[in-house]
Structure 1
Amino acid sequence: MKRLPVLLLFILGFIMVGTAQNKQIPLEEIWNGEFNTEGMDVLRSMNSGTEYTILNNIGATKSSSIDKYSYATLEKLETIVSSADSANIPYFTSYEFSQDESKILLATEIEPIFRRSTLGIFYLYDVASKSIINIADTKIQEPTLSPDGVKVAYMQNNNLFVFNVADKTTAQVTSDGVKNQIINGVTDWVYEEEFGFVRAFEWNSNGTKIAFMRFDETEVPEFSMDMYGSELYPSRNEFKYPKAGENNALVSLHLYDVASAKVVMIDLGNAYYIPRIKWMNNANYLSVQTLNRHQDQLKLLSVNATNKNVSLLLEEQDDAYVDITDNLTFLADDSFIWSSEKDGYNHLYLYDSKGKLKNQVTKGTWEVTNYYGYDKKADKIYYQSTENGSINRDVYSINSNGKSKKRLTEKTGQSYASFSADFTYFINTFSSATTPPEYTLHKAQSGKEVKKIKDNKALLKKLEDYVISPKEFSTLSVNGNDLNMWMIKPQDFDANKQYPLLMFQYSGPGSQSVSNRWMASNDYWYQMLAAEGYIIACVDGRGTGLKGRDFKKVTQLELGKYEVEDQITAAQTLSDLSYIDENRTGIWGWSYGGFMSTNCLLKGNDVFEMAIAVAPVTSWSFYDTIYTERFMKTPAENPSGYDDNSPFNYPELLKGKYLLVHGSGDDNVHVQNSMRMIEALVQANKEFDWAIYPDKNHGIYGGNTRLHLYTKMTNFIKENL
């Protein structure tokens, strides 16, 4: 075969000269946390901008405290509240200050519902008097202090309530909430999963009104899962889950006036989705983002809370879809900063309060990946971007007019910033493929490092005893595109030998798996495999993110077509290398990656000899409306897009070795996907291996579950590659 070009950009390796790297990484050490990095507990800047707080939890003694530190010295100044100081203060796991920092909302006894939603018992602590009160006697959702700190709004049993701190009375705002029918104030399953938020109510800036969303799930089809547990009979988990093409919840917007206790509905016209609501600085104006069902037309609306009039601020349209972000920021005069891909890359824009474009703030063939905030005093916008290469991240500042841009971080890798309230300082978290997370304090104006806070040199020292191979970053020329790739070779690599190749990918729209960052758990697994003589590679094909709109959205209406073509061609290209054994090529992935690995084994059955699919989608008709229709429209509108890339429609193509894994309690990618794939393979009389993990969700973890899963996958690779 003709040799296709592989352009090596750079190799990142560990400098461990003269050390004895003779221990192989065992699975047990990966999954018992032996290689976990030290991090900083989530810190929150105080209003002063010179101090921050950290929640310090001591699990062994079940004690927790909120401690105040100085940015300038990083020294602890005082303990604001501690569960060890009083029997009245329970052990808490998260907290929220009131706007004036006089009160603190403490979360206890938290239990998960779905990916982001939780229930808990919440208390309000008064900093001055050191008194504490209970918000509600039973578990509640999403309690949120009013800006003046005198009330707490929360959701309980699908209804919205407001607790008055002074007299400890509670007003019930809605009364029609019913499980699997009506939800007030929090999102339904599909909004939580795909629009990424749970709390669907917001206080206005002076605490006089609450805007909230209401979900009518009555016509949404119900999904049920048996939960096997340990009792004689299984229980059943039933929830509303709209699969592609099915009915979504009817969503409406409402305003609650605290003084009159009246609720009014706001007419948003033909709004199908309401992915974001956000009050402006003017307490009488609410911004609302709406989407049509195809998600290719987004409107930013202004709602006058006094007369209920609705006006259009701006509109975004795209031939494919419009992304939803949290980058909308209203400045003092309610002019606003907005992010958009309308010039082909994700950038920041400045609009006046009426929605007229003032100027594009950032420009270039790179992407803004994080918006950190606006410093009015210095007229500086702080953001993170890929300007230093799509696999890297740096922190920048720029004036609101798009001038005086400054790179604030210097090291090549991934930098993430956490700014003080007044933008005097930021704490930078940096890592790369060779450097575990480092935490440093910087001046925001100049980016100058003030001092080091924490690093993970102890982990690097520990890794000197293990067989560790460098992660080589490169680009691979595939189907007319230079695709980002990393490769890990055995430490004793010999170019004159041939090695089996295991490819990993995720490949979902806008995702990134090839990134210059420190190792995650899977990377240690790859190191273990490399030490046993495997080459591991990862290629981000078409449809992945951070290389511009067109590269990302080329897969529209055809999920699994171009991505699969790229992985097959990449495997062929790599097999052309003299040191790759073209007869021993495997691929694996989880979720979207499992969908991909399954398709690659079938459609690339002359290229791949083995595949592992964990929690795969096997038909997009089984997945939820918001995610699937964003990229595919509905099954009725795009039947070939669904059918042509659904692997259970062509099980007869299976030639290689296939391992299929799923958790039976997966509320996200239902085990139905794997059951349909299994039935198709059985009826095609194809041999394969499979495993079902009882009651485990999409993450398939808990106890020894991950160790068992990765042991099974490791053995499967050794036996079949």
Structure 2
Amino acid sequence: MKSLSLVKKAHFLLLIFVVASCTALIAQNKKITLEEIYSGTFGTKGMDRLRSLQNGDQYTILNLDRKNGVSSIDKYDYKTLEKAETILSSSKENGIPFFTSYEFNNDESKLLLATEIRPIFRRSTLGVYFVYDINTKQITKISDDKIQEPSLSPDGSKVAYVRDNNIYLFDLISNTTVQITNDGEKNKIINGVTDWVYEEEFAFVRAFEWNSNGSKLAFIRFDETNVPEFSMDVYGSDLYQTQTVFKYPKAGEDNALVSLHMFDVNSGRISTIDLNEPYYIPRIKWMNNPDFLSVQTLNRHQNNLKLVQVNAQNGTTKILLEETDNAYLDITDNLTFLKDDGFIWTSEQDGYNHIYLYDSNGKLKSQVTKGPWEVTNYYGYDPKSGRIYYQSTENGSINRDVYSIRSNGKSKKRLSHKIGRNSADFSADFTYFINTYSSAATPPEFTLHLASNGNKIKDILDNRDLLVHLENYNLSPKEFSTIKINGNELNMWMIKPTDFDVNKEYPMFMTQYSGPGSQSVSNSWRGSNDYWYQMLADEGYIVVCVDGRGTGFKGAEFKKVTYKELGKYEVEDQIDAAKKLSELPYIDEDRTGIWGWSYGGFMSTNCLLKGNDTFEMAIAVAPVTSWRFYDTIYTERFMRTPQENPTGYDENSPFNYPELLKGKYLLVHGSSDDNVHVQNAMRMVEALVQANKQFEWAIYPDKNHGIYGGNTRLHLYTKMTNFIKLNL
């Protein structure tokens, strides 16, 4: 009986082992689904809205519990990474409502809290705002109305904000509000915030700034009177649709007239600054001296940039710096004024984006960084050590590293240590920095380092639990390489099927964006589309991405070669890359597809038409189909005006040659896209219909350029996935 029970036990243990092995095998073969991608299954943890405190020893983080409607600002020590205290937490008992962002005033005695935020366009919002006094623990509502871009004065005694296109000043001591401007009017005059095209293309909304002692407020005024209007129907759920009407200057049309003004807080007077009628004012920034403001002005062609010093006492101006370019100049936020109002500036003047040091009169003191690589972020200057901190592509254009260097260009130090994408958030006194690192194989990691040498002090946060979770899925690595096309080594990545067999042939699906200065081939952690590509690879597709000419971080010449001919060289590179990759024995040259969103949709449409002997299928989401339909600032930067360059606009507008369509085409757009208007899709549709070409298309009602909300993304990607499976 004993030997029989041992045999039974052995059989039982063997059965457990077999079941466990099969379960493990099944788990490792789990397939990614679209439902998982768009339900947040693969989301990463991060450090939300981190602010370094002026003492240099501590930082604050915003913690949001959206489920329970609780937000808090917690203070942490850099040295120990332990929480020192909770500065405040929302609750009904203390009268602090749930807030989603915060800002300190200069001496960190007060906090500006944002609640009930509602988006307007891409960056602009309306909200109800409060000021919290950290010492007295009192909370004050700024306005009963929803307002825009409130900003605390340096001493925390006042708040400037915009409501209905006018600037207001709220006094926290007297609890009174003064209206500064009175001529604001929708679709006509805007004071203190930007119009649509500035917000979208110059990437800022607040167009007013306090000087360093809070005695003056500089602001930009926009006169949109002559700017043409664009309207969009909003269908909603009522019996009749409504209409959104806003000023949108399309290429070659009138822009808003801009002017610079100065408000004196004590006298209440507004003066106008004579800047000799600049076409654009893309930046204003006060210098350390409260009497001097810096203003950047730009001509319509965006190839002549001036940095102007304005004397706020008498309104006189002086040009500190002027740059010109044969193509165009980019606007950045890398201007930093030193204690004596000398300044640090980045420029592509030697062919690559680098850091330059000027004295207070605009005289060049030194080119701080040099080499065939790009400075991609400027972090700041430490006057104690005389060192400048920055991020660059010195370790390859698909990677990012953090460096420090002396202001004379000597004693450079690499402060990050891992290959991939590194970025830094420095303490106020540049003693520490928090490094955020990721790669194609490693989700974001947050670590604390010494700024003096980059040595790691402690781990803060990682996403190892996500890596463990992903072990259950069929995943293929991103294989990075370069491909020589049209005389250039282009960055590329490829994802192969999980059961890849070199003796088989696979369909190839290409993804790209391709817009000027962009980058899609990056050694960084995956986004939601990357999980979609993994899903497609698991279905037997080879997914490829190639950054062609015109993309960024490989020098000005490579980026600006597409000037005045958007859609020519970029399309040639995608077509030629597809042809060259199709020569590989494991790629089926008769099954090649391409897709893209926005600029990428413009590209995928052109590739299917101009490369109709190469591509069998394309998907275009929210594509530009003619640059004549797009806005002035972006389009004219790269194309000049349609009046000056008609062939550049028309020879690469896909609805001008619909007869070239041979393959399968899916066109998708949101009806409320305020950026790339649905007009682009409608003109493409009409051209294809009149050419009697069959295709598929979908319009998502009341969705903007992002086409999201509820199940929208899931529906869109399901549609695209089914289209790929059916036609590739």
TM-score bracket for this pair, using the shorter chain length: over 0.9
**Using the alignment, how far apart are the partners of 1:42 and 1:431 within structure 2?**
19
Cross-structure match for 1:6:
none
Question: Does 2:389 correspond to 1:382?
Answer: yes
Q: Which has the higher contact order (CA 8 A, sep 6+)?
A: 1
Residue 58 (str. 1) matches residue 65 (str. 2): yes
Amino acid at match of 1:159: N
Q: Aligned to 1:186, which of 177, 190, 193?
A: 193
**Letter of the aligned partner of 2:352 in structure 1?**
Y
1:268 aligns to 2:267 (yes or no): no
* SS of equivalent residue, structure 1 residue 529: helix
- 2:681: which partner in 1? 674
Would the aligned equivalents of 1:374 and 1:381 in 2 still touch at CA under 8 Å?
A: yes
Map of 2:8 onto structure 1: none
The range that moved more, 69-78 or 645-654, is 69-78
Mapped pair 1:27 → 2:34: yes
1:486 aligned to which of 477, 486, 493: 493
Structure 1 counterpart of 2:523, which letter?
Answer: N
Q: Does the 8 Å contact 1:589/1:612 carry over to 2?
A: yes
- Stretches of structure 2 that go unaligned for 5 or more consecutive residues are 1-23
Partner residue in 2 for 1:234: 241
In structure 2, distance between residues paired with 1:415 and 1:140: 36
Maintained 8 Å contact 1:21/1:468:
no
**Does the 8 A contact of 2:249 with 2:631 survive in 1?**
yes
Please list, as runs of the form range in 1=range in 2, the aligned pairs for 1:315-714 lying within 5 A after superposition: 315-714=322-721
Distance 2:356 2:574 in 1: 36
The structure 2 residue matched to 1:171, chosen from 160, 175, 178, is 178
> Quick one: distance in 2 between partners of 1:223 and 1:110?
25
- List per-residue Cα deviations over 1:71-107 (Å, max 9, x = no partner): 1111111111111373421111111111111111111
Distance 1:18 1:443, change over 3 A: farther
Q: Which residue of 2 aligns with 1:9?
A: none
Q: Which moved more, 1:519-528 or 1:38-47?
A: 38-47
1:24-71 alpha-carbon deviations (Å, 9 max, x no partner)? 101100000100111111210111010111111111221111111111
TM-score scaled to structure 2, two decimals? 0.96
The whole-number CA distance in structure 2 between the counterparts of 1:200 and 1:312 is 21
Q: 1 CA distance for matches of 2:391 and 2:184? A: 41
Find the counterpart in structure 2 of residue 246 from structure 1: 253
Matched, 1:117 2:119: no
Instruction: Provide, for residues 280-337 of structure 1, a one-character-per-residue CA deviation record: whole Å limited to 9, x for no partner.
Output: 0000000000000000000000001111111100101000000000000000000000
Task: Provide the secondary structure at the position in 1 that maps to 2:508.
Answer: strand
* 1:305 has 2:320 as partner: no
How big is the shift at 1:597? 0.1
One-letter amino acid of the counterpart of residue 690, structure 2: Q
State how 1:138-149 maps to structure 2 within 5 Å: 138-149=145-156
Residue 462 of structure 1, CA deviation: 0.7
- Residue pair 2:169, 2:177 contacting (<8 A) in 1 also: yes
Contact 1:19 / 1:464 at 8 angstroms: preserved in 2? Answer: no
Whether contact under 8 Å (2:102, 2:114) holds in the other structure is yes
Query: How far off its partner does 1:20 sit?
Result: 5.5
Q: Is the 8 A contact 2:104 2:110 kept in 1?
A: yes
The one-letter code matched in structure 2 to 1:497 is K
Q: Report the identity percentage.
A: 74
CA contact (8 A) 1:413 1:516 kept: yes
What amino acid is aligned across from residue 57 of structure 1 in structure 2?
Answer: L
Determine if the alignment matches structure 1 residue 98 to structure 2 residue 120: no
Q: Deviations over 1:685-711 (max 9, x none)?
A: 000000000000000000000000000
Q: Distance in 2 between matches of 1:582 and 1:64?
A: 54
Query: Could you tell me how far 1:270 is from its partner in structure 2?
Result: 3.3
More deviation in 163-172 or 553-562? 163-172
Displacement of 1:404 in angstroms is 0.5
Hey, what's the Cα distance between the residues in 1 that align with 2:325 and 2:135? Answer: 52
Question: What is the CA–CA distance in structure 1 between the aligned matches of 2:377 and 2:92, rounded to whole Å?
Answer: 39
Q: Which residue of 1 aligns with 2:162?
A: 155
Q: Secondary structure at the match of 2:261?
A: strand
Can you list the C-alpha shifts for 1:159-178, whole angstroms capped at 9, x where unaligned?
Answer: 00111110011111100000
2: CA distance between counterparts of 1:24 and 1:81? 44
Q: Paired residues, what number?
A: 705
RMSD of the alignment, in Å? 0.9
Partner secondary structure for residue 446 of structure 1:
coil
* Structure 1: distance between partners of 2:76 and 2:92: 19
Q: Distance in 1 between matches of 2:515 and 2:323?
A: 23
1:42 to 49, 54, 58: 49
Deviation readout 1:556-593 (Å, 9 max, x if unpaired):
00000000000000000000111100000000000000
Provide the C-alpha distance between the structure 1 equivalents of 2:236 and 2:586, rounded to a whole number of angstroms: 49
- Three-state SS of the structure 1 residue aligned to 2:28 is coil
Contact 2:212 2:289 in 1 (8 A): yes
Residue of structure 1 in register with 2:143 after alignment: 136
What residue identity is the alignment partner of 2:447? T
Q: Aligned letter for 1:500?
A: P
AA at the equivalent of 2:470: L
Deviations 1:167-198 (A, max 9, x none): 01111110000000000000000000000000
Q: Offset at 1:506?
A: 0.2
CA contact (8 A) 2:49 2:101 kept: no
What secondary structure, in the 3-state scheme, does the structure 1 residue paired with 2:609 have? helix
| In 1: Cα distance, 2:232 partner to 2:155 partner | 44
Question: What is the SS of the residue equivalent to 1:509?
Answer: coil
Equivalents in 2 of 1:208, 1:454: separation in Å?
42
1:319-367 CA-to-partner distances (Å, cap 9, x unmatched) read: 0000000000000000000000000000000000000000000000000
| Contact residue 435 and residue 446 of structure 2 kept, 8 A | yes
Query: Considering only CA atoms, is the larger Rg found in Structure 1 or Structure 2?
Result: 2
TM-score under structure 1 length normalisation: 0.97
Separation in 1 of the partners of 2:299 and 2:288? Answer: 27
How big is the shift at 1:18? 9.1
Moved over 6 A (4+): none
Correspondences of 1:5-20 after superposition (within 5 Å): none
Secondary structure in structure 1 of the residue aligned to 2:388: strand
Deviations 1:213-235 (A, max 9, x none): 00000000000000000010011
Counterpart CA distance in 2 for 1:499 and 1:83 is 55
SS of equivalent residue, structure 1 residue 706: helix
The 1-side partners of 2:382 and 2:297 are apart by: 28
Cα 1:650–1:276 change in 2 (3 A) is: same
- Counterpart position of 2:211: 204
Q: Is the 8 A contact 2:255 2:632 kept in 1?
A: yes
